[in-house]
Chains A and B, each alone.
Chain A
Amino acid sequence: MKKTIAFNLNGDAVSADVESHKMLLSVLRDTFQLTGTKEGCGHGECGACTVMVDGLAVNACLYPAFEAAGKSVTTIEGLVSEGNILHPIQEAFIRQGAIQCGFCSPGMIMSAKALLDENPRPTDGEIKRGISGNLCRCTGYVQIVDAIRESARTLTGK
C-alpha cells in the first residue's frame, strides 16, 4: 500500500510517496536525504532518531510515516537558520565539549530543544529527565547537561 503524504518539514511544505510500512525515519533519511537524524537501536531506547512532531520529541524509528501527514516535523537540520547559523543549543554543545563521536548529538539536541520549548529554565534534574530517552556512550552526560544549562541561559537572556 502506497500513499502520498504531505507535511511540513523544517518550515517547508513537502510531500512524498510513501509505503505503508515505512517509518518517518526512513522517509527523512532516504527520501529527503536528511541524514542528520540517526538510527541507533531501532526500538525507542536510544533516542538517536529523535525529531519533533508538532513540537513534541518522538522517536522517528517508531513513528509510522503515514501519521506524519498534515503535521509539522522538525529535524536537526531545521535548527540551523539561514546563512548556516547554528542554533544556540548546537553552539552550546560545541562550546561545552558535549560532542565526542557525535552519533547521539542530533537526537540529544532535539530532546533538549523540546525540553527548553516547554520549560525554558529547567533544573539539572529536569534536564536529566528531559534527556532520559537519549543514550550517549562517550561523554558521560556531564558536558551535555552543562550545554543544555548554558543554552537555557542564552535562550532566556540570562
Chain B
Amino acid sequence: MKRYDYHQPQSLKEAYQFMEKGSAGNARYIAGGTDILWRIRQKAVEPDALISLRGVEGLRGIHQNGGLSLGGMTLFRDVERHSGVVLDYAALAQAAAVLANPQIRNVATLGGNLCNAAPSADSAPPLLVMEAVVVLEGPAGRREVALEHFFKGPGQTVLDRTEVLTRIRIPERQPRTGSAFLKAGRLKQDIAVVNAAALVVMKGNQCAKCRLAIGAVAPVPLRLKSVEKLVEGQEISPGLLERACELAEKEVSPISDVRSTEEYRRTMAGVLAKEVIQKAVRDAR
C-alpha cells in the first residue's frame, strides 16, 4: 500500500493549513474514509497526505430548529436513528438506513457521501428533493450552494481543493408534506443500481408540489423537473403515475457497467419514479 502522511487537525483553520502545506497538490481531506481508503488500496488515488476531519470541533450533529441542520461529519448511524429525521424527513432516514452496512454506517458521514459525488450516492436524492443547501468553508471564506448545483460529474463537485463541506441545511418541513426513498439493487446494502427520492406537498387529493430525484442514471444525481411539472397540480391517479414513469425513462441517461445495464437502469428509473411518488404521498400528513 502506498504510504502517506495522516494529519489530525482539531480545527478547520488547522485543516486548511495542512491542506495548503500539501504543496504537491496531492493532499486530500478524509471523513469516514470508507470510500477513499479503498480507492487508495486500489491505487485509484494516490495522495501524499490525508487530512482527517474527525477531530475537527463542531462538524458532527443534527439540529432541528425550524429546518434541519446536519454537520458534514454526521454519521449515517446518527441520521438513521434521529427521531426528528425519521418523522419529518423520512426519505433521508430511509436512505441512511440502507446505505452499505452497519459497520460502514458507524463511520461513514453524510458530508463524505456527498463530496465523493458518486452518481449512486444514497444521500443525494433525498437531500435534492428536500432542496438542501450545503455550506462550504475554506481559507477564503464561506459560501452556500444549493445541492442541485453542487455535483459536476462522477466524483466531481464545485468544491475547491481547500474547502470543506461543513453543514447541510434543509428547509423546514411544511404541513401535508411526505417524502420517501427507494433503491434498486441486488441486495439493499449494495451500491444502488438506481435510487430515487420524492417529496410531495398535498392539498386534498391534489399534489401541490412535487420534487423527484433519481441517482445512478446520469453523471450526477438528477432532479427530474419535467416529471415534477407533470405531477404538480394534479390528482395522483394510476394514469398520471404511468405518464410519470414514461417521462422519467426518457429523461435519464444511464450507462451499462458491472452492476447493471443501460436498459435495466432506464426501466427501473421509471418504476422507481412511480413507486417513490406513491410512497411519498402515503407519507404525507
> What residues of chain A have their CB less than 8 Å away from a CB belonging to chain B?
1, 19-21, 23, 42-45, 47, 50, 56-59, 62-64, 66-67, 111, 114-115, 129-130, 132-134
Contact = CB atoms under 8 A, between A and B. Distances in A.
Contacts of B30: 64
Contacts of B34: 44, 59, 62
B38 A21 contact: no
Given A23-B37, A44-B100, A62-B107, A1 B6 contact: yes
A43 to B, nearest CB: 4
Contact of B107 (A58, A66, A129, A132): A58
6 A-B pairs with the lowest CB-CB distances in the bound complex, closest first: A133-B101, A20-B6, A43-B38, A1-B5, A56-B106, A133-B103
A56 B188 CA distance: 21
A62 B104 CA distance: 9
A57 B106 contact: yes
Contacts, number: 75
A20 B40 CA distance: 13
A64 B33 contact: yes
B21 interface: no
A20 B4 contact: yes
Given A50-B103, A56-B77, A111-B103, A133 B37 contact: no
Contact of A20 (B3, B54, B103, B106): B3
B8 interface: yes
A21 B1 contact: yes
B104 A133 contact: yes
B52 A111 contact: no
Interface string B74-118: 000100000000000000000000001111101100000000000
Nearest to A20: B6
Contacts of B38: 42-44, 62
B39 to A, nearest CB: 9
B256 interface: no
A44 B100 CA distance: 9
Contacts of A132: 101-102, 188-189
Nearest to A41: B38
Contact of B102 (A21, A23, A66, A114): A114
Contacts of A111: 102-103
Nearest to A63: B107
B41 interface: yes
Greatest chain A CB density within 10 A among B8, B50, B104, B106 is at B106
A2 B4 CA distance: 10
Given A43-B38, A62-B38, A133-B101, A20 B33 contact: no
B3 A130 contact: no
B3 A47 contact: no
Nearest to B105: A133
A155 B224 CA distance: 50
B41 A133 contact: no
Interface string B1-33: 111111010000000000000000000001001
Nearest to B40: A21
A63 B32 CA distance: 8
Contacts of A23: 37
Contacts of B52: 64, 66-67
A133 B77 CA distance: 14
A125 to B, nearest CB: 12
Given A20-B3, A133-B189, A62 B102 contact: no
Given A20-B3, A62-B34, A64-B52, A47 B8 contact: no
B37 A58 contact: no
A43 B42 CA distance: 10
Contacts of A44: 34, 38, 100-101, 103-104
